[in-house]
Amino acid sequence: MIRGAARAVHRSLATKRTHALRSSVCAVRALHSICVPSMSMTTRPAMRSFGIEMNARMFSTKVPTVGLGDQVFICIEGKFPDGEIFDPRDDTPQKFTVGDGDMIIGLEEALLGMKKGDKKTVILPPEMAFGVADDDGNRVRIPRSELNLLPSEEKMLEVGSYLGLDDEDGDMAKIVEIDADSIVVDMSHELAGKTVHLTIELVDHIPIERQQASERLVIPQVITSGDDETYPSKGDTLAVHYEGKLTNGKVFDSSRARGTPFEFRVGVGHVIKGWDEGMILMSKGERARLYIPSEKAYGRQGAPPVIPPNADLIFDVELIQIKPQ
C-alpha cells in the first residue's frame, strides 16, 4: 500500500516530496548531514559535505541515524483517525531507499533521524500522505484514439468507472469525464484527501556508506544551487549541459563543447540509471557532480571505444530546463 501509493501520486506531489526531503535533510544536519555547507567556507564552496560526513559515519562508534540514500527495513501499520486499519502490519519488513521516491513524503521525512529499533507513530495530513482530493492537477485527458479499445469496450466507458493503466503495478484511474474525442481520468490515489496515522518500526538500517557501490543512490554533489523549488518528475523532459569524465580525468563527452544542451526524459530508462537517480533530485538551474559507479553506468560492457568496461564515471551536469510530461 505505502509503496504503491508513491507511484500513483501526481507530479506536483512528487516535486514536493523531493524538495521537502532535501530541506528536511538539512534540518537534521546534526543527525546525518548531507546538505550544503555555509557559503563562508573557503574550500569547495556550495559543495555538499556528503563525502566528509559519510567517512565520519564509517568510523564512528555511535549508532547511525537514517539519512538520504540509506536503506531501511521497516514494518508499518496504517490507520485512519477513527482507528480503522487500512494497511495492517506485516512482520516481514519492507525494504526502501530513502530519497528514491518509492515512499510517500511523510514516511520519508519521519524516517530521517531514526535509529535501528526505533518505533514511532506519525500523523500525516493528505498533502504529506496520499495527496489532496479533487486536485485538478491529477486529471489527465486521453484521446480515444490512444485507448486502442474495441467497439464493445468503447460502449462500456462511463463516468465513475475505472480504467486500467499500462504500468507495472496494475494501477487504476477513475473516469471523470467523457466526450466524443477523449476521456478524462483522475490519477489520484484512492486514499487522496485522507489524514493517516502510521506506526513505523525501523527493523534494520544500512547507511549509504556501508552499501555496495551498485546499491548506492546517486546523490548530486552541488556546485551551484538551483531555485530549490522546481524539481523534475518521472517522465519529464530535461534539457541539460554536461561533461563526462573517467576517473583518470579524461573527458569522453561534453554537450558544452558541442554548444547544444542534451534533452531526455528522466526516470524512464532513456539514460543510464545513475543519471535517472541523480537528475530527479536536482532543481532547475542547479549544477552538480554525479559520481556514478559502473553498475549504474555502462557496466561490464562499457561503451567502446571511449568508455572501458567496469568504468566509474564523473559527470558535471547543469539542469537548464524542465518540460513537464
Catalytic residues: 242, 252-253, 272, 298, 315
Whose CA is closest to 122, among 281, 31, 2? 2
Determine the Cα–Cα distance for residues 16 and 3; give it in Å rounded to an integer. Answer: 17
Alpha helices in the chain (DSSP H): 2-8, 11-27, 29-32, 50-59, 105-111, 151-154, 255-258, 273-279
202 pairs with which residues across the strands? 74
Whose CA is closest to 319, among 220, 250, 246, 235? 220
Grid cell 484511474 is found at: 173
Burial 83-114 (b: 16+ CB within 10 A, else e): eeeebeeeeeeeebbbbbbbbbbbbbbbbbbb
From the CA atom positions of the chain, what is the Rg in Å?
A: 21
Are 38 and 50 a contacting pair, CB within 8 Å?
no
Query: What letter would DSSP give residue 320?
Result: E
Determine the Cα–Cα distance for residues 263 and 283; give it in Å rounded to an integer. Answer: 16
